[in-house]
Chains A and B, each alone.
Chain A
């Protein structure tokens, strides 16, 4: 089976603190991978290393046939790996539509600084793409609202929509449903997954909610103490007693949690 992303012996240390170690993963195209783990298990460090935010201390990251280890994030992004953030990285001073226009125009001006000087921000092509993205992510009702005023769910969607503007092959979502009300989490993920449908994108998402992982992931990576301790289907990973003990806890269904809240 071909791989779009291959991670070999990846590790990261901050001085004496080892945040990630001996991570070996092969990701086939189009797979949707859920990444679970307790706080401090190394999930975000892993995402940060793949996307160039952190330089690995050891190991290699292959994207298709390209060694992307330690490359700057902008270069990795241009190659086709995009990401969203736990705290959405949007432009609060701009409206939702202006945010999308900026993202699509940047994607359009892919030939370096000269292209960025020569390409206008608003062209019929980029504006149409921005409009389409706003509709696809169902945030059209916020089109002219300043991003600073958006509710958290819309901020998350905008962040993901902007990450997708460059038509990436791999998308990493860092806790896409964090800070979202329980009853809205599935709606948000439904919107995201439907937007990703038929786009040929491989997705890795970090998530604490096991119901979300179970529902949307084809495969689950369980992180503990900086390394992957389980890698398999959602059912086999989430029902693994060791994973339950170390990470997910005894399984509580969403309906039960909602009932508790009620």
Chain B
């Protein structure tokens, strides 16, 4: 575990060090990919317990709109304050929705989460002050009163995203080692036994939801800062579906897979746009099909194969 954490941290450090030498388009793509990787990391937490939310875009959009609204309606520009607000609001929303969602499983859980995200979509589309269907511009943040411009901004934001990813990966790894985090398969296997061992399964799922949604909120905030624009599509069901797509691609076996999977997805999407502008979905669909056929446990299973058996307990 300690070795894996060190390797992971070194991986993030190497990417950070290499970033200034990379082309701007790749840094930009990786920034969004890693920000979205945080959402996927949250989905992995839920996925391991057999829960597939089709509405995680709800929290992603809340995170994104929070930083956008802070920039639009306040003087606050500090990046950490903006992201903290986004994380807090997403967590609070998940805490409230969790009282209902944690009582459902399987398709009912998936559909209920989808319904909740579509409510937000409806509100965003219909509300002029929130930019309606066009959305609105996101103000550039400051980093401890320093406001980088142009490519430097891109680079600094990428480093910030990497820092958040590294921290989240470490914390989620620790969570997976804890009693609460390691009971994902038992939740799928026998909720009755867990209850009779003294565990509240609903509370456990509620906690997983809050963690996953906080990560989604942070991911949304970072993505919005990178794209410099928010719009209602961020809460649309296709966005949620995209995160589920990446989770299948990544697999739930490892924390690193969330980021690798997300990067591979963004890269594939970018290549597909270039090669087949009108039919890029065929390219992505084929990639998913091949993953399911040849790597049914996702890209993450490759790490498992490298280090022997890897199975979440």
Contacts and interface: CB of A to CB of B under 8 A. Distances in A.
A67 to B, nearest CB: 19
Interface size class of A (residues with CB under 8 A): 35 or more
B286 interface: no
Given A74-B196, A166-B198, A91 B185 contact: yes
Interface string A98-138: 10011101111110010111111110000000000000000
Contacts of B183: 102, 106
Contacts of B204: 113, 116
Nearest to B191: A89
Interface stretch (A55-63, A75-83, A204-212, A252-260): A75-83
Nearest to B207: A113
A107 B179 CA distance: 10
Interface of B: 175, 177-183, 185-186, 188-190, 192-200, 203-204, 207, 313
Interface of A: 51, 53, 72-75, 77-78, 82-83, 85, 89-94, 98, 101-103, 105-110, 113, 115-122, 159, 162-163, 165-166
15 contacts: A53-B192, A83-B196, A91-B193, A93-B189, A94-B185, A94-B186, A102-B313, A108-B179, A117-B178, A117-B179, A120-B178, A121-B182, A121-B313, A162-B197, A165-B197
Contacts of B175: 117
A192 to B, nearest CB: 17
Contact of B196 (A82, A101, A118): A82
B198 A77 contact: yes
B177 A77 contact: no
B179 A121 contact: yes
A102 B195 contact: no
A103 B198 CA distance: 10
A85 B180 CA distance: 24
Contacts of B179: 105-106, 108-109, 115-117, 119-121
B180 A93 contact: no
B181 A77 contact: no
Task: Tell me which of B177, B180, B190, B198 has the highest count of chain A C-beta atoms within 10 A of its own C-beta.
Answer: B198
A89 B196 contact: yes
Contact of A119 (B178, B188, B197): B178
B180 A117 contact: yes
A162 B180 contact: no
B19 to A, nearest CB: 34
Contact of B178 (A72, A90, A121, A163): A121
Contacts of B194: 106
Contact of B190 (A89, A107, A165): A89
A94 B196 contact: no
Contacts of A82: 196
Contacts of A92: 189-190
A108 B192 CA distance: 19
Give the top 8 A-B pairs by smallest Cβ distance, nearest first.
A89-B193, A116-B180, A91-B189, A121-B182, A116-B179, A78-B198, A77-B198, A109-B179
Nearest to A78: B198
A51 B313 CA distance: 27
Contact of A116 (B178, B188, B196, B313): B178
A89 B182 CA distance: 18
Given A98-B313, A117-B180, A121-B177, A93 B188 contact: yes
A195 to B, nearest CB: 17
A94 B192 contact: no
Nearest to A121: B182
Contacts of A163: 196
Contacts of B189: 90-94
B200 A74 contact: yes
A206 B232 CA distance: 59
A83 B189 CA distance: 18
A112 to B, nearest CB: 9
Nearest to A113: B203
Nearest to B200: A74
Nearest to B177: A120
Contacts of A102: 182-183, 186, 197, 313
A121 B177 CA distance: 6
A229 B190 CA distance: 35
B196 A106 contact: no
Contacts of A53: 192
Contact of A90 (B182, B188, B190, B198): B190
Contacts of B178: 116-121
A91 B50 CA distance: 14
Contact of B192 (A72, A78, A85, A105): A85
Nearest to B193: A89
Contacts of B198: 74-75, 77-78, 106-107, 110, 166
B177 A162 contact: no
